[in-house]
């Protein structure tokens, strides 16, 4: 299947402001693109694209004073299959993990592994290692937290979420990531497109989404504590230790958000041939 991806984001900038964005699809999905994935920025200067320390596709530029629009529209191929489920895959002992995975066992800005180790051991220590233990973490977070956009707070950590038991998408993932790391399972935060493909349409406007990935057996696997079900059409944009590493737009000065639109639409097969 094909998926139409896009966004239209507008900021007011009283003074010239440097920006860094992570609005391109992740390098692992570039091969699936059927059109250019090009960040279009009105009137920007010093525009440069590069790869950050986590392997994400980034762009930096200087926005002039006034109004700045970031936009894109592209097509990507997707198998149309839901996220893989593999209950047989094993955890890897820490001493045998690939070195690049070790950073995803440590505490980070929103994931206080050291403060939640005892909690994770009490809740999940008795579950045999492997896929099913990660799934148990997902289920616990999904069942014990209340979702609501009114609970969004940029300073909220995993321990805050565990204590208060409510949050938004990123809070669900931060708590699950922290629990997994506390169990010596490498876990990283992920963000990208996730449309309402194969599920009832959400009544709220489309947004970018968050999920997480864990390293089991010999690769990264997708889990989603917010939805807790395999989904179709997930398109990765960026990964990091937590949400602080994968902010889709970062301004180094005042930038007031005026418009934010995200598009993630599956294209029916009979229409795809004419795209």
Residues 177, 166 within the same domain: yes
Q: What is the pLDDT at residue 37?
A: 96
Positions in the chain short of pLDDT 70? 268-275
Residues 216, 130 within the same domain: yes
Residues 234, 113 within the same domain: yes
Find out whether 76 and 2 touch, Cβ atoms under 8 Å: yes
- Residue 89 within any structural domain of the chain: no
Total count of domains within the chain: 2
Going by C-alpha positions, the residue among 137, 142, 104 that lies closest to residue 122 is: 137
Q: What is the pLDDT of residues 56-78, one digit of tens each?
A: 999 999 999 999 999 999 999 99
Residues 110, 181 within the same domain: yes
Residues 110, 209 within the same domain: yes
Residues 138, 67 within the same domain: no
Residues 103, 19 within the same domain: no
CATH of the domain at 109: 3.10.620.30
Residues 173, 197 within the same domain: yes
Domain limits at 183? 94-245
Find out whether 129 and 84 touch, Cβ atoms under 8 Å: no
Helix/strand/coil (H/E/C) assignment for every residue in the chain:
CEEEEEEEEEEEECCCEEEEECCCCCHHHHHHECCCCCCEECCCEEEEEEECCCCCEEEEEEECCEEEEEEEEEEEECCCCCCCCCCCCCCCCHHHCCHHHHHHHCCECCECHHHHHHHHHHHHCCCCCCHHHHHHHHHHHHHHCEECHHHCCCCCCHHHHHHHCEECHHHHHHHHHHHHHHCCCCEEEEEEEECCCCCCCCCCCCCCEEEEEEEECCEEEEECCCCCCCCCCEEEEEEECCHHHCCCEEECCCCEEEEEEEEEEEECHHHHCCC
Residues 223, 189 within the same domain: yes
Structure token digits, residue 188: 């990283």
- Residue 213 within any structural domain of the chain: yes
Residues 102, 234 within the same domain: yes
Q: What is the pLDDT at residue 205?
A: 83
Residues 136, 68 within the same domain: no
Q: What is the pLDDT at residue 42?
A: 87
Residues 139, 208 within the same domain: yes
Q: What is the pLDDT at residue 269?
A: 60
Q: Alpha carbon of 151 to those of 166, 167, 209, 261: distances in Å?
A: 7, 5, 16, 21
């Amino acid at each position: 299947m094909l998926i139409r991806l896009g966004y239209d984001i507008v900021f007011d900038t009283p003074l010239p402001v440097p920006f860094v964005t992570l609005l391109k699809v992740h390098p692992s999905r570039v091969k699936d693109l059927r059109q250019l994935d090009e960040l279009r920025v009105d009137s920007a200067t010093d525009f440069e694209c590069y790869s950050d320390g986590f392997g994400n596709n980034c762009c930096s530029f200087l926005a002039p004073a006034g109004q700045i629009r970031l936009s894109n529209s592209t097509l990507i191929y997707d198998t149309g299959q839901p996220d893989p489920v593999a209950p047989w895959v094993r955890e890897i002992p820490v001493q045998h993990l690939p070195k690049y995975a070790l950073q995803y066992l440590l505490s980070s800005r929103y994931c206080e592994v050291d403060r939640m180790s005892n909690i994770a051991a009490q809740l999940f220590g008795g579950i045999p290692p492997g896929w099913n233990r990660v799934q148990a973490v997902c289920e616990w977070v999904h069942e014990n937290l209340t979702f609501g956009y009114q609970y969004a707070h940029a300073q909220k950590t995993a321990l805050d979420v565990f204590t208060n038991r409510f949050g938004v998408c990123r809070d669900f993932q931060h708590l699950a990531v922290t629990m997994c790391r506390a169990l010596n399972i490498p876990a990283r935060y992920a963000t990208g497109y996730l449309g309402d493909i194969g599920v009832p349409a959400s009544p709220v406007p489309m947004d970018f989404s968050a999920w997480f990935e864990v390293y089991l057996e010999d690769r990264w696997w997708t889990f989603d504590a917010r939805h807790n079900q395999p989904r179709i059409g997930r398109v990765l944009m960026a990964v990091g230790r937590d949400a602080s590493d994968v902010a889709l737009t970062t301004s180094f000065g005042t930038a007031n958000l005026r418009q934010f639109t995200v598009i993630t639409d599956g294209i029916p097969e009979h229409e795809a041939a004419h795209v």
